[in-house]
Amino acid sequence: MARRKKKRKIFSPIYMTLVLIVLYLPILMVIIYSFNAGRSIGAWQGFSTNWYTRLFNNALMGDALKNSLILAGLSAGLAGVIGTLGAIGLAHGHIRGGNAIESLATLPMMIPELVLGMAYLAVFTAVGVKLGMTALVLTHTAFCVPYVFINVKSRLVGMDPAIEEAARDLGASPMRVLRDITIPLIMPAVISGMMLAVAMSLDDVVISFFVTSAETTTLPLKIYTGLRSGGTPEINALSTLMLALIFVLVGLSQLMRARSDKKLYSSK
Amino acid sequence: MQEVLLSLKNISKNFGEGDVLSGVSLDVHKGEFVTLLGSSGCGKTTTLRIISGLETPDSGEVILNGQDMTDLPPEKRPVNTVFQSYALFPHMNVEKNVAYGLKVRGMDKKAAADRVAQMLELVQMSEYAKRMPSQLSGGQRQRIAIARALAPQPQLLLLDEPLGALDLQLRRQMQIELKRLQKKLGITFVYITHDQEEAINMSDRIAVMRGGKFEQLGTPEEIYDRPKTRYVAQFIGRSTILTGRVVLADGSLAVVENENGSFTVDADYAKMTVGEMCDICVRTERMRVSRTPVEGFSLPATVREARYAGGSVMVYVNLADGTEVAAECGFRMADAPKAGDTVYMHWNPAQAAVIGGASYGA
């Protein structure tokens, strides 16, 4: 018994360290070399924030950043509304085939992005949607909906149905219950879902690549094209910033969920 | 005769897997405390949800104060519910929870605040007004749920196993408090429980439910002393049921006979004819044990075990045909009969009941 315990004590830290190295070393490299004074990725030539300065002075980068933020904001917002309404509708209405609808709604997360991108491109060309921002917002909204939907749905499933019934019993109409009870209670899930959606939208390359136009470029696209044409530490700097932003978004999203879950479940 | 407040007329409900309720009818009088008692799945919660409007019956009518409410949504009924899970709004503090029913009905803020304060005082929770539900104990949440349901001054309060989640000691205390509250406010209660002791302690009348029907509706005393069916006799209290053939019936007493001997029961309320089979119910605490045959009648039995039961001794015996009988006796443990002893079982005929009704023979 004691021996087995000791063995595990040696094994698990080594295993953990290996996994963490494999996962995070490359990312760490990107971050470190974004502060490199020289151009090369591989030879350290002293600390400098030079590449960040150059990045901020690059007008094209500014444009890409603006596009990315607008795109992420709009698509996360739209996905927030669509995903939330869908989840409420499915959880409350006794809809025939609700499970099938749920699977269909979350399927886009599983479909290869390459296929999705091609599919959107084909549809937009056929229907005549101009490629560019509109097309980007439509596609990003589409692949962001599942993140909000899943989050809100699981929140609703975990909620005691008697809470909403109590509100009706006390005299609130169904709309009033939605406004006073349901929406405030699922809000943390909506927001955390939308943060995930922003994170997903901000780093999408593949789908965006298919439906964007030459004039409209987003940050991830910029990084991709930048790397293709040789790659500069400027790209490292940009990646580091995006990494930081996404890290913050996902962290906040997790934190919100955990805190509100605690509140919801401890009151039962 | 008291005024009828609520009347259920022949309510039936089917969720697609057989009838949950089949033809339930009930009149509840103003100020009355009526309990629906039954094990889980007997339809008591569905009955309550139909009264509150959270469920619609397939057929039948719900009438409150002479008004048909069958098709009214729950928000339009002057009826409030205390839910089993309390169902407090987790994002509102105690005060806002209690005020919610007043707010949605458009009561002005000052009057609502007064009413909330009054309700919190009633349930002795005034100092917790600003707490969140997650900061309260189970018993405290229970009180807030009651205050919240009482605040809009419902004509009828529905309580769905409100004490089910509390521990025994708190439950006993809340039983007394709830009953006191109900008397003080004069509000009509329809109460659900599966705990027969709770039902007997608190109710004016009890409806024992089974399989979506009422087995018996009556005062706690009637239910306990004169069970109408075997199910009621077994569900409420502990008792022995003896089946036998009527050999003599003179209108006030009946003599019944089976393999164990013949025994007597008070039968002035039951129509009995000589030759028919009947069931007799004797409560455990009314079953007597004697070491010698008793004048009148007594059934010989063999003692299996005697066990101390806190203030009394439980004696478990087998009658001649093997029927197991339990009796609660006033012996001291030292004087109690030992296993293997032959004893004689008897009872006061006035304290035994003839079971008659729907499930006879079932």
What mean pLDDT is predicted for residues A32-53?
A: 82
pLDDT tens-digit series, residues A181-216: 999 999 989 999 999 999 899 888 899 999 998 888
The residue segments making up the domain with residue A110 are 59-266
Does the beta carbon of B293 lie under 8 angstroms from any beta carbon of chain A? no
Measure Cα distances from A128 to A216, B22, B183 in Å. 18, 61, 74
- Decide if B99 contacts B112 (C-beta within 8 A): yes
Contact assignment for B134 to A170 by CB distance below 8 Å:
no
Q: What domains can be seen in chain B, in order of their start residue?
A: 4-230 (3.40.50.300), 239-355 (2.40.50.140)
CB contact under 8 A, A163 and B90: yes
A176, A185, A266 member nearest B134 (Cβ): A266
Residue A138 near chain B (CB below 8 Å): no
| Residue A187 to chain B, least CA–CA distance (Å) | 11
Is this model's pTM higher than 0.90 or not? Answer: no
| pLDDT for residue B1 is more than 80 | no
Mean pLDDT score of chain A = 85
| pLDDT the model gives residue B169 | 87
Q: Is the ipTM of this complex over 0.95?
A: no
Instruction: Read off the amino acid at residue A109.
Output: M
| Residue A46 forms part of a structural domain | no
Q: What is the pLDDT of residues B66-118, one digit of tens each?
A: 999 999 999 999 999 999 999 999 999 999 999 999 999 999 999 999 999 99
Sequence-distant (≥ 6) Cβ neighbours of residue A106 within 8 angstroms: A146, A149, A150
pLDDT in tens, A129-170: 888 899 999 999 999 999 999 999 999 988 899 999 999 999
Is the pLDDT confidence value at B361 over 60?
no
End-to-end Cα spacing for chain B: 36
CB contact under 8 A, A169 and B133: no
Phi, psi of B113 (to 5 degrees): -60, -40
> Which pLDDT score, from 0 to 100, does residue A30 have?
84
Residue A260 has pLDDT above 50, yes or no: yes
* Domain membership flag for residue A182: yes
Interface contact flag, B75 A171, Cβ < 8 Å: yes
A268 interaction partners in chain B (CB closer than 8 Å): 85
In-domain check, residue A169:
yes
In a domain, A224, yes or no: yes
Is residue B280 within 8 A of residue B264, CB to CB? The reply is no
pLDDT of residue B356: 66
**Predicted confidence (pLDDT) at residue B221 exceeds the cutoff of 60:** yes
Q: Is residue A212 part of a domain?
A: yes
Is it the case that residue A91 has pLDDT exceeding 70?
A: yes
Q: In whole angstroms, what separates CA B55 from the centre of its chain?
A: 23
Q: Find the angle CA(B68)-CA(B70)-CA(B72) to the nearest 5 degrees.
A: 95
What is the pLDDT confidence band of residue B322, given thresholds at 50, 70 and 90?
confident
Which site among A96, A156, A186, A267 would you substitute to test the B interface, given the most B Cβ atoms closer than 10 Å to its Cβ? A267
* Other beta carbons within 10 Å of B22: 17
Element (H, E) at B198: helix B196-202
> Rounded CA gap, B231 and B216, in Å?
10
Residue A233 belongs to a domain: yes
pLDDT of B337 strictly over 90: no
Q: Report the alpha-carbon distance of residue B362 to residue B357 in Å, rounded.
A: 10
Q: Say what the pLDDT of residue B10 is.
A: 92
Indicate if the pLDDT at residue B271 is higher than 80: no
- CA–CA min distance A78, chain B (Å): 26
Number of Cβ within 10 Å of residue A25's Cβ equals 9
Lowest-confidence segment of A91-105, B85-99, B205-219 by average pLDDT: A91-105
Of the given ranges (A249-258, B116-125, B306-315), which has the lowest mean pLDDT? A249-258
- pLDDT for res B357: 40
**B149 inside 8 A of chain A by CB:** yes
Residue B359 pLDDT level (bands cut at 50, 70, 90):
very low
Query: Looking at residue B73, what is its pLDDT?
Result: 94
Residue A30 placed within a domain = no
Report the range of poorest mean pLDDT among A144-148, A230-234, B142-146, B252-256.
A230-234
Higher pLDDT, B264 or A93: B264
* Residue A5 predicted with pLDDT over 70: no
Q: So what's the pLDDT on residue B276?
A: 83
pLDDT in tens, B20-68: 899 899 999 999 999 999 998 899 999 999 999 999 999 999 999 999 9
A189 part of a folded domain: yes
Over range B180-204, report the average pLDDT: 92
State the average pLDDT over residues A208-237.
Answer: 82
Q: A215: number of CA atoms within 13 Å, CB side?
A: 5
Give the domain CATH number at A178.
1.10.3720.10
Structural domains in chain A (count)? 1
- What is the rounded CA–CA span in Å between residue A89 and residue A100? 14
